[in-house]
Amino acid sequence: MSPERLYPPVQCLRCGFENELGDRYCKQCGASLTGPTPVTKPKADPALISIIVTVAGTLFIPLAGGVVGLILAYRALRGARTSGGQRGSEKLAKTAVIVGWGGVALGVLPLCMLMTMSGAQLGISACEGLFQALSDMLPAGLGR
């Protein structure tokens, strides 16, 4: 045994043969010494899921689909940021947020048009306020 060896030898789990540290496979039986390589399953990006929810949801339940998709998109964005991109790409999450707002706007737009067409001044100003809020929140959500 060489004196500079600082680490215990790596014992094979299958046959017990002592391999050198750094060996990846047992010299005796060929079993993997590092264990099954942790396969990082390509988990679906949460941002991608939120985009799907937004698009599919908006088709079926316009406003609710957009809102749910948007909530998921912001969660994906937060997750992507706090994990440094480990839990999904931030770029995709930002796209998801934009898609989410688009879904919300698509859901709200017909309501606004209806109210506007009915000539209610209240409806017009409510819609103006709503879209003002939307345009304020979008950059706020995307900014750091």
Query: How far, in Å, CA of 38 to CA of 54, rounded?
Result: 33
Q: CA dist 22 to 4, 36, 51, 54, 119, Å?
A: 15, 15, 44, 48, 77
Among 5, 9, 11, 14, binds Zn ion (CB under 5 A): 14
| Sequence-ordered strand ranges (E) for the chain | 10-11, 18-19
Q: Determine, following the binding rule CB under 5 A, whether residue 56 of this chain makes contact with Zn ion.
A: no
Among 20, 21, 24, 28, binds Zn ion (CB under 5 A): 28
User: With respect to Zn ion, which residue has the nearer C-beta, 17 or 131?
Assistant: 17
Could you give the 3-state DSSP secondary structure of residue 45?
Answer: coil
Q: Which stretch binds Zn ion (CB under 5 A): 16-24, 40-48, 65-73, 87-95?
A: 16-24
Q: Determine, following the binding rule CB under 5 A, whether residue 11 of this chain makes contact with Zn ion.
A: no
Residues that bind Zn ion (CB under 5 A): 12, 14-15, 17, 26, 28-29, 31
